[in-house]
Amino acid sequence: MADSSWDNGGQPAQRKQGISIWAKVALGCGVIFLLGMGGCVVLGATCARAIGKTMDGREWGQLKEAVQQLQSDEGAKALYQANPELSQAYPTEDDFLEKARIWRPKLEPLPAEMPGVFTGKISYNVSINGGFRKVELGYTNGIGGKIASRWENGRLQMISVD
């Protein structure tokens, strides 16, 4: 007859090999959590890149040209005369030329393509209201010059360099 006793005959209890079921559950949850977080990071980066690529950088070319013009007195005069709205910030051409001379040591040519917003070198704010487009575009160059500009319907309203 078979022994139906729960008694193991005095032998020490055998311990199971490996990790417990609760450790396996915790490990599985941890893996799922990490995969979920990684997916969120990838999704966020993809969306951010898509947003950055869809921005319309039409003012970038104009800002690049304006920075080039600021490199000389003749160019600065031409910039001031071509953008009469600058008179709101700089009442006279001489005021603008004086500022341009102060800005020159902080200026360098801008890159051909507008850097991505997420590079930390550019600030870009667009508002469109009733067909009226206002853009605030800033750029920090390699020598620490911070260029700030405001454009309204493609026309330069303000430019400064810190």
| 108-137 residue pLDDT tens | 999 988 888 788 899 888 888 888 889 999
Q: Is residue 1 part of a domain?
A: no
Whether pLDDT at 49 is above 70? no
- Write down the pLDDT at residue 152: 92
In angstroms, the CA 62 to CA 6 distance is 89
Give me the mean pLDDT over the 79-98 stretch: 95
Whether pLDDT at 28 is above 80? yes
In angstroms, the CA 83 to CA 65 distance is 13
Q: Is residue 3 part of a domain?
A: no
Q: Tell me the one-letter amino acid at 115.
A: P
- Write down the pLDDT at residue 118: 81
Q: Is residue 115 part of a domain?
A: yes
- The boundaries of the domain holding residue 115 are 58-161
Sorted by sequence, the CB contacts under 8 Å of residue 104 that are 6+ apart come out as 70, 71
Give the pair of three-digit tokens for residue 62: 């104009």
- Write down the pLDDT at residue 114: 87
Q: Is residue 35 part of a domain?
A: no
Q: Is residue 28 part of a domain?
A: no
Q: Is residue 146 part of a domain?
A: yes
Q: Is residue 43 part of a domain?
A: no
Residue with tokens 């009226």: 132
Model confidence, pTM? 0.65
- Write down the pLDDT at residue 137: 93
**How many domains in the chain?**
1
Sheet of 132-140, strand order: 122-129, 132-140, 146-152, 155-161
Whether pLDDT at 53 is above 50? no
Least confident of 73-77, 92-96, 120-124, 136-140: 120-124
Q: Is residue 102 part of a domain?
A: yes
The closest of 147, 162, 152, 153 to 65, measured between CA atoms, is 147
- Write down the pLDDT at residue 58: 77
Least confident of 34-48, 98-112, 121-135, 145-159: 34-48
